[in-house]
Amino acid sequence: MFCLKLFVRDEYHSYEREVNAYAYLNQRGVKRCIPLVYYRRAWPRWRWDGAQPDDYNEHDRDEILYGIVMEFFEDCQEIDMRKADIRTAQVLAQSLERIHEALVVHRDIEERNILVLREAGKQRIVFIDFSSAWLGFAFKPTRSLEWNEFRAFLYENIVHLQYIYAE
């Protein structure tokens, strides 16, 4: 099984940012905290949907869609920071640091863009949706801004961790 993410022409820049971020991360050896990307392509709508004419009265069958075929996570859930513990916060921070070390700034850290997977009794954090990402040395200084946003994200969602961590 796989996941298919499609972009319309107006979202082309988001598509390019996402594809380039995944390529950049993969090239720098970042593996477990991002999905595998198998394929990317610009095709007409009918090629992506298998020529199912169900909605061609609403959509142009020849409209070019930009697609990314990625790893599908069968047993995953969106992270729920209200139920997170210190270990989850640490894994989350380590995953984000690996992404930053590869010179990618995610720029959209939200619960909806972080998946938690259970694999062999362990927890795996996967960041998705890099359509807003910045990458390269030019954006290295923005990492500190994202870390500040990340700390605010943790603080807003898991205030109880302050008390646990202080003990």
Task: Provide the pLDDT for residue 164.
Answer: 44
Structural domain total, the chain: 1
Q: For residue 93, what are the domain limits? A: 2-166
CA dihedral 55, 61, 67, 70 (to 10 degrees): 50
pLDDT, averaged in runs of 10, over the chain (167 residues): 93 97 95 94 87 69 93 88 82 92 92 89 90 86 82 70 46
CA dihedral 24, 1, 128, 16 (to 10 degrees): 50
Q: b vs e for 139-165, b when ≥16 Cβ sit within 10 Å of the residue's Cβ? A: beeebeebeeebeebbeebbeebeeee
Task: Provide the pLDDT for residue 161.
Answer: 52
Task: Provide the pLDDT for residue 95.
Answer: 93
CA distances, 7 to each of 90, 101, 111 (Å) = 33, 28, 21
What is the 8-class DSSP label of residue 9? G
